[in-house]
Amino acid sequence: MFSRITGTGSYLPAKILTNHDLESMVETSHDWIVSRTGIHQRHIAADDESTSDLALQASRRAIEAAGIDPQQIDLIIVGTTTPDMVFPSTACLLQNKLGIHSGGPAFDVQAVCSGFIYALSTADQFIRSGQSKCALVVGAETMSRIVDWTDRNTCILFGDGAGAVILQASETQGIISTHLHADGGYKDMLTVAGGGCGVSRSGDPRIQMDGGSVFKFAVSVLDSIVEETLSANGMQKADIDWLVPHQANIRIIQATGKKLGLPMERVVVTVDRHGNTSAASIPLALDTAVREGRIQRGETLLMEGVGGGFTWGSVLLRW
Ligand code: UT7
């Protein structure tokens, strides 16, 4: 038994924040942001929109694309680091908004920017083991709520959005393999220390990042995850048709594309339009490429991401 993506969907809030808008908020410039990150604009959730609302819109589109009845969904996993509330989970809130009464499990996965990779890998295990037949897997974020809008090192990077896929049991191979990693030794390199329930709860509830160190770490672990994924499957670089990477920085994306020997036309890039939407970035990029008709059935896709924790991982699949 395999698991296979049968539909994708995504949603971006209406409000667009351009680099020129940011020039009036912090000391920065459009040219600096484009040259260092590749980002031109990002979307920002409205005051009355929460992560579960973005997830709902993306999920509806994925359900429609898959042509399923929502009541078939027997597993919901949401990758998010910006949940609506401490509890219930965003996945339970989403299940309720979708009106699903199947009683199947619904839970959030917290792996920051690797959240969708972790969620998809988990759903794949549920389906392969026969526990679930039809999963809704979502990456959804309202990063704008945890950004320090006075810190030019970080506020230029992030955006809001959601992406979703329907993953169904199939006799045809879809997901080929998944690879997950974490190293909590790097916990301070990218963190929101305050706002939780721990002893640091009264600390800063906004993103703090050592950008240079994150950059070097990301390039290095993405390099090794590409090697690991190919060798686990006895595959060569030439076997990969598409790279669908986490969208953090165009320079990191280009480094991974180069490692794979892929021309940039075979690398899905949305960071210019979406910024870094954390767990939402990969399913947003996937849905964008699918709806543009770029990815064709039978092609081989490599998804990869790295995020706070630190966490990183990949999913290799046949479309
Ligand atoms: O999903 C994982 C999450 N995060 C990431 O993947 C981020 C990874 N890191 C990066 O993408 C890059 O490190 C950044 C885009 C954050 C920064 O680019 P960089 O090339 O590493 O620049 P830098 O931090 O070395 O800063 C260079 C200069 C500094 O000035 P000085 O010290 O050389 O005078 C910064 O103060 O650029 C300055 N700077 C800015 N200037 C204009 C930093 N942010 C800005 C800004 N506008 N927004």
pLDDT per position as a tens digit, 13-63: 999 999 999 999 999 999 999 999 999 999 999 999 999 999 999 999 999
Reply yes or no: is the peptide bond before residue 88 cis, omega within 30 of 0.
yes
pLDDT, tens only, 158-196 = 999 999 999 999 999 999 999 999 999 999 999 999 999
Q: Does residue 138 sit in the same domain as residue 215?
A: no
Q: Does residue 306 sit in the same domain as residue 259?
A: yes
User: Average pLDDT for residues 1-12, to the nearest whole number?
Assistant: 97
Residue 23's pLDDT is: 98
From 172, 200, 226, the end of a domain falls on 172
Pocket of ligand 1 (CB under 6 A): 28, 32-33, 36-37, 113, 152-153, 156, 190, 211-212, 214-215, 218, 248-249, 276, 307
Pairing label, strands 41-44, 15-18: antiparallel
Q: Tell me how many domains the chain contains.
A: 2
Residue 229's pLDDT is: 97
Give dist(CA 279, CA 264) in Å, integer. Answer: 22
Q: Does residue 13 sit in the same domain as residue 150?
A: yes
Give dist(CA 221, CA 227) in Å, integer. Answer: 10
What residues contact residue 309 under an 8 Å CB cut-off, 6+ apart? 111, 112, 114, 182, 183, 184, 186, 187
Closest CA to 125 of 71, 62, 177: 177
User: Average pLDDT for residues 63-73, to the nearest whole number?
Assistant: 98
Q: Does residue 146 sit in the same domain as residue 279?
A: no
Q: Does residue 157 sit in the same domain as residue 183?
A: no
Q: Does residue 75 sit in the same domain as residue 135?
A: yes
**Counting every residue, how long is the chain?**
319
Q: Does residue 195 sit in the same domain as residue 229?
A: yes
Give dist(CA 54, CA 13) in Å, integer. Answer: 7
pLDDT, tens only, 126-154 = 999 999 999 999 999 999 999 999 999 99
Residue 107's pLDDT is: 98
CATH code, domain with 86: 3.40.47.10
276 C-alpha vs ligand 1 centroid, how far in Å? 14
From 121, 142, 172, the end of a domain falls on 172
Residue 170's pLDDT is: 97
Q: Where are the beta strands (DSSP E) in the chain?
A: 2-11, 15-18, 41-44, 75-79, 106-109, 134-142, 160-170, 175-182, 190-191, 208-209, 242-245, 300-307, 311-318
Q: Does residue 24 sit in the same domain as residue 140?
A: yes
Residue 278 · residue 143 · CB < 8 Å: yes
Is 113 an active-site residue? yes
Q: Tell me how far CA of residue 117 lies from CA of 19, 184, 189, 305, in angstroms.
A: 29, 18, 20, 7
Band of pLDDT at residue 296, cut at 50, 70 and 90:
very high
Residue 102's pLDDT is: 85
190 C-alpha vs ligand 1 centroid, how far in Å? 13
Written in H, E and C, the secondary structure of 153-192 is HHHCCECEEEEEEEEEEECCCCEEEEEEEECHHHCCCEEC
Q: Does residue 231 sit in the same domain as residue 312?
A: yes
**Residue with CA nearest ligand 1 atom 16:** 211
User: Average pLDDT for residues 296-316, to the nearest whole number?
Assistant: 97
Is 276 an active-site residue? yes
pLDDT, tens only, 233-246 = 999 999 999 999 99
Percent of the chain with pLDDT strictly greater than 90? 98
Please give the model's pTM, rounded to 2 decimal places.
0.97
**Residue with CA nearest ligand 1 atom 23:** 212
Q: Does residue 142 sit in the same domain as residue 86?
A: yes
Helix (H) or strand (E) holding 289: helix 281-291
Q: Does residue 59 sit in the same domain as residue 113?
A: yes
Q: Does residue 157 sit in the same domain as residue 229?
A: no
pLDDT, tens only, 203-229 = 999 999 999 999 999 999 999 999 999
pLDDT, tens only, 264-290 = 999 999 999 999 999 999 999 999 999
* Structural domain boundaries enclosing 74: 2-172
What residues contact residue 76 under an 8 Å CB cut-off, 6+ apart? 91, 94, 95, 100, 104, 105, 106, 107, 135, 136, 138
Is 197 an active-site residue? no
From 172, 205, 240, the end of a domain falls on 172
Catalytically annotated residue among 113, 179, 249, 274: 113
